[in-house]
Structure 1
Amino acid sequence: MTEPDLDALFEAADVVRRRAHAPYSGFRVGAALVDEAGHIHAGCNVENAAYPVGTCAEAGAIAAMIAAGGRRIRAILVQADSPEPVTPCGACRQRIREFAGPGTPIHSAGLDGLRSHYTLEQLLPASFGPEHLVHGA
């Protein structure tokens, strides 16, 4: 990805992070991804009083991509106000894997900018994906 793409992802993640519904943890997260057509889709975390039914920012961005017609993640950026880089949780790593390959870049950002860069393979090694399922018969 080129630098302007990362800037656009950072800006989109920052906008939605500010809109996150995080009244219980106070931990607002924004995620933005770019699809195969170059369109950016963003999502924020949405907490719920019944904790297990909350939604991660990455899941929201993926749902927005699918709703808009995208099917492949070229890159994703996750932003949170944290002293350490924030990466997708385990469930979101698997969600990303559904629409991305092992070499897909995953960027971690704080409020001040990019902090770390990973590939999906680094965060989810030897992963299970759609190609493992047998279709037909």
Structure 2
Amino acid sequence: MSYQLVSDIEVKKVSLPEYALFGGGEQTARLHVEFDIVITQNPESYIGLYYLIMDDDTPIGYGSCSGLGKHAVGDTVHVKDKIVAPDVPAKYAKACNMLKFVTEYTYYSQRDALRKQAKKWNEELEAKYGIKKEDDK
């Protein structure tokens, strides 16, 4: 990775889930965070941060942060980001306890697997409680 985390990740605000009565628009819990990174290698283009939301050694969700601009080696960049809780059953979401910063390649390979796993978990939960989506009626 072309950067190194050099500060604690400070949670500035917690936004609870929001539910819409009509037309979707639901949002899961969000953490508004700030932290500092130092550029350690000359990035080929703009800086992108990629992370996995972990339950110890098991990835549960994923996220990324872009729009940090171009920077030179040695620059300290103050990052403000919103981490969105994974859309998975609560027992998995509650177990999330850390972020693991990863390469872009790892992010995309894990993201696809996590999307499939989240869909499976949600389908199992829907089947357990007999929940049918509007399309299933």
Q: State TM-score, norm by structure 2.
A: 0.27
Higher strand fraction (1 or 2): 2
Q: Which has the larger radius of gyration?
A: 2
- Asked which structure has the greater RCO (Cα within 8 Å, sep 6+), the reply is 2
Higher helix fraction (1 or 2): 1
